[in-house]
Structure 1
């Protein structure tokens, strides 16, 4: 199955999950601290990382940010808090999925398989998307506007890529929360609004003078090239 690195400082949970995942065919190694986890990721290159937020030496979100500067290994974050703010925080830090404690090895196994399946689908030679002067490349997770690179955080890139892949279409905030934030039961529209505002700033536009990101009141967001926006 998969080479799994489990970064968890709770010895009982670590032992239970390691045993349960091993019984399901995974090869499991473990780390107790964030720094040990980072070293093992570099040395052993696991297929997926299961990361606890509450580590003794470093907050799991900070470890994830450090990891994302050097690796795109899939990461599932385990958190004891299932509120929207916590979930948005871990996903914005670069997590691919999350599980809320307590969870079983069977539940975690299903999440691991789902994340790796999505990753396999994404590896089928994704092509860069060009909309006007905007270029979004999912293979390198990079974007540029008029030839200038855009500095985007992981969630900003994911949202821009999702909208660019549907250029000209109106995408609802509920759809963005479900598909980009992986919140199947929706969430607060303000989460999307804030990220749209950040994206607009980086694209050099405002809500009043939109070039690429257009709000359709009461419906959602449409990304379109300036000449195709319909707002000339």
Structure 2
């Protein structure tokens, strides 16, 4: 038995796929159902998947397969259950074959995170607080509870930690850090930078992972931790 919102979402997805051949985005689903946030859509999608009405395809975040329709919805769409001949509609993804030496990996569902502009891995830049776009990340990358966001890396000061210019880093919002954590640090209230965090002799050390950059030593009141690195996405 589906709730009214679950039924509305399933109908919207079916109509969009029948019309355009592609599933709607999470933003389009949110607007169509008049919800305030995409977290509500995530819950509805999960409920529909658990009940066997849809299947999310692993290799593309927006790819959705409709497995079946409830009898009430089939009748509403003019397809009686006993004569509809309904067949699942699958949107082909862009998955490519792995190289021969590649090890198999476990594929997990993807979630969309806001990309809050660019973060300096070098000389600090002004703090970013506006969403520039969204990016899909594996759900397993989101560490623990709490809010997450993403940032585009600018600079090369963290290259020895495997973080390159242009990479997308996934950040878990938190105000504290342990020694050695890679954090988003707000410096003197207006500069944001991505560095390793250490406490040394009553001071905060923001350490680069590139010998070309000096470690910055700052007073405790000059540094505010805004989040900890939990994942990285790279485009080739």
TM-score w.r.t. the length of structure 1 is 0.29
Based on CA coordinates, which of the two structures has the bigger radius of gyration? 2
Q: Would you tell me which structure has more strand in proportion to its own residues?
A: 2
Q: Would you tell me which structure has more helix in proportion to its own residues?
A: 1
